[in-house]
Structure 1
């Protein structure tokens, strides 16, 4: 450390200035870049976790619908009387006439087949009778010996799911499935016991596409209640497929609840989602590798730092040139002083200038003139005075040197820094632009809804809890005209007079209903609600039956909205309020349809 300090002290003034300025610039900029790239890394992981959560919830919705469909289909078959009677005849060995077989096949089997074909999620529904001597009625009714060809036939339990088996009955057909899952249920008769078995089958690779469409960067599996893992990887070369046992073991603690985490497995950064599926008595795991995206970010970071290093070197070179230019007269003065030290009393500081350095040069020149004059007067005295003058000169030079160093530091330029604009400021900017633009009195419902979304984005920054916005609006309503700032005051009232007192996660529901040539917008909050007396008083204030004064909380906002709607569209339109104490408040706005074209947005949005 001492050696570095000595090295620094030995350097020229321009090198010291360049080094100090470089340090002042390099350290903050490097820290900012490191923080920026760390935030980018965290944002990538956070975004991937959000995408993973969305995809797994979408897949779970499909699973729930499929399970419900299979359960309903099973109940239809179990409760179909003609099928049960036919199975009883087969169980009892009763010989069925040909005409009855034809009629049963045409009417009952045909109807059941149409039921199966009408549901695209269903692969097959098969009924296996406890009889091997009757003519099978494809694709519904089969002999028991057919069922025995399936791998689950000997060990199945009624009402439970069988997973990932190959359809061995018609494996050569075009639509046969290599990955099948089925709800298998025994058909029971009170007198005869088991008379058959129902297999309601779906394609497992359709219900769980994430399991059968894996890659080096993505992998998924389903784990049943017995801990058996169902997954697939092409040729078994997927890294995660080889580690599936360890992965499932490490995530055993989280199988009871929906979980999303970022962790490292086999040295790779991954995001993992666990989705319990109680309908199937198991859970799914979805793994996405972040290594490639993070490697790209690392390469980008290294590239930026390489460019930054080159920029710093070039910047240091130019700073050194600028500092030398600023200290040019100082070095000229120093050169003159060195000449004087060498005995050249004729040396003078040329063109000293008018600034502090110029003042120093002028004083040096005057000092030299005085020395020469004194030398001419008295040689002996000059010899005595020379040392004194030189010492005085040295003290003067040191004082001016320190003073000018300080003044030079004051001349350094300030560094201009730029900062990223956050999402919250973006929302605020949109909100302000919307509020300040009054070129027209009316706007579309779609524009008003966008304004409400930006408003809620800012409101949610303020509170510790979340206020969600749920929209159920037909497309045509988004294009309708409405007085500007008609819906936002209602949403604001819902928050400050209904939801804020609860201080917990809440929702605001906006629903639109078409009624002939008019439409109704309902804005409902899950806040504290109002009593019947409060609702009646508020409705009178809105209609103008009771005067409203200034200030918030007295209905003036809703009264203003009511007046603007009636001025724009007539007295038959306006606001009404329905509420239940400690439950909800609903504000109903009736408006006319002004445009017939459809505004292109989704009909149902949940924000």
Structure 2
């Protein structure tokens, strides 16, 4: 149980109160902003929907306009309406035009909504086609309507919805449009063409975007007469609010607030540039409330999550006091595991931080002591290698001196002087030590002295070929690095072969390194033998120049230059052995 005076209790209480206050403020701000954003978003979406509906309707009306334009400027129709209806040519011309007109109407995507197409001429000629059958009284009936006179005055205008007075009709209302037929030969109007659309055409357009029970979609003309309504019973009626009508037709599109049943409602409207009709949709309060309820649920879940997070945070903060102690404990454990790195994070400004500073200083002292021990061991190892490397093999000296002796007895030439000179230079350089770095040019000179002695000993039974990339002669290498490799090639490759052989030495640059390849065409080595040579398990030849073997060379290189450098061996028994020496490129 928490005590009132404990730090844990204070932290938990403070975090809980802050979490509650923060949650309430965030909830209120988010809710108000979300409601505004929701309504604006719904208005934008609704505007896009009604514009799409009106654009689709405009495209359909454009098709009707196209049919009317084709027919009224057609010279055949202009001629038909002034021809003698009793002439022989009249019937054939009339049937051909009706066929073309039918074809135009049938090819339209709204042909099922074209109730009537009436053509009438000054010669008394009359044509009626469409979904609804015609009647002899239709022309006279049409010409007696008030809307007919209005259409004649406006010329090819969509005035909106009118009462359907034809004898045969599919609906009680229709959408008429009229244009005059012109005769270019006589240069005058000789008749008219009227298209009556089914009033279901605009209704079907808004029905696809069905509204909820508390919203509606309306299409109306400038007089406020409703052309289409989601409530089909209101088609043909008039809008009640004339002031709203004036406001809407003062702009091509926009938003407004309507008073519907004493309740303010947001609405969006858009006016067609083709017909001049306007479409209006009211937003659904039911849909707004649904969206708000979803957001309220999200807010509740968010508040619960924040409260849970606050409680979790209070628990975490309650342990904050123990954190420095745990960090020091972990640091001591790391020291016991051999990790002596300094960790500044345990050096805080309090008493526990002072303990952390003492531990860091102790860690640094231990690391320095260990580095000193490692350095001493490394120095000791290098000294041991130097002693080992500078021991001259007595068998080698014996064989060399024996060679000199027999040369003096048998050859009676200057070879004795050359061997003696070569041996003298080798001994002089070995006496100076073998750990120092010399240039590649100097290393090759020492190697040539050694090869001269061995060629005399083996009666020139092998040849040495050099391939040295230009410019590498001045770069450094540890003394007597290549000689043990060549010695190994002679003793374990060429000599067992029992016939003449070839040793090729190539030196080239590769990026920031120097690669020295020593390859012989001797008897080769098995994988086991390669491992033995590199692991120091093999016995050194008693006839070598010194006790430096292949493994010693590899160890010296890695000790001096790092683990990325040293020797690699490749060999195929009976064919060749190739040793690659990798050293860094430095002068």
- The TM tier, using the shorter chain, reads 0.3 to 0.5
Greater relative contact order, per chain length (Cα 8 Å cut-off, separation 6+): 2
TM-score, with length taken from structure 2: 0.42
- Return the index of the structure with the highest Cα Rg: 2
